[in-house]
Amino acid sequence: MEVVLILLVVGVVVVGLLAARNGANTRRAQLEDAKAEARRWVERLGGQVMNLTGTTTAAQQAMADAAERYTAAGSQMDQATTAEQCKLVTKTALEGLYYVRAARVAMDLDPGPELPVDPDAARAGEVTENRRVAVEGHNYAASPDASQGTPYYYPGGRVAGRSVPRGWYSEPWWRPALVAGAWGVGSMLLFSTMFAGMAGIASADAWASGYDAGQADAGADGGDAGDAGGDAADAGGDMGGDYGGDAGGGDWGGGDFGGGGDFGGFDF
């Protein structure tokens, strides 16, 4: 009887060791696969950054932002030790490629092959018409196309818990929230004025609560709950929205924002 018990214990130990080893091998294989995928996108971005030069103001700015994401992705790649971290590298590299694609379009070049769609960008919507608005004495413009008046591109996504639609802008109005991790007091007025009535973009109230277009009714449990969700999003920021910006060494700044860095009379 004792011999049988000993054999059973030994058998359990052996099975446990084999399972642990198989699990470790699986995780190792997943990590290697994720690293290979991340490197593929980083290398693709690097090739574009090294070989493509902007010939217009808008294209130059977009390529500067692409170069910033390339630097950030490289830093993240060096530090990645898990499959999830490698996925963040891939996401950062794809952001850079969105900027490259925008630069190519701005120069009337073939944009190249389609890129994977980022869910946050898709939910944020896009600028579909030219807008020029004045908020507290400061002028802002948004357009679906690059121009001298709208040289700053954003590929769409979430910044500090709130969506920023894809499009070209007169200045990077989302940047203060990206740097600070929270939106300022006047941000709702700016968003409401710039995007009022534009199809596929959240209403100002929904946006202030951290919802995308069509999500407010499904996600909010009354006005107070929506306000609480918005406050929580503001306080914590949205790591998915800025894609690990500080951790990755990048802040979406990319190029010299020049006059765009001066937000005039609008107090963020």
pLDDT digits (tens, 9 = 90+) for 147-169: 999 999 999 999 999 999 999 99
For residues 179 and 142, the answer to whether their CB atoms sit within 8 Å is no
State yes or no: pLDDT of 256 exceeds 60.
no
pLDDT digits (tens, 9 = 90+) for 15-36: 777 776 666 677 778 789 989 9
Q: Where does the chain show beta strands of DSSP type E? A: 131-135, 138-143, 152-154, 157-159, 162-164, 167-169
Which residues are within 8 A (CB) of 11 and not within 5 positions of it... i.e. 6 or more apart? none
Question: Quick one: pLDDT at residue 131?
Answer: 96
Indicate the SS3 state at residue 152: strand
Q: 215-240: string of b/e by CB count within 10 Å (b at 16+)?
A: ebeeebeeeeebeebbeebbeebbee
pTM score:
0.72
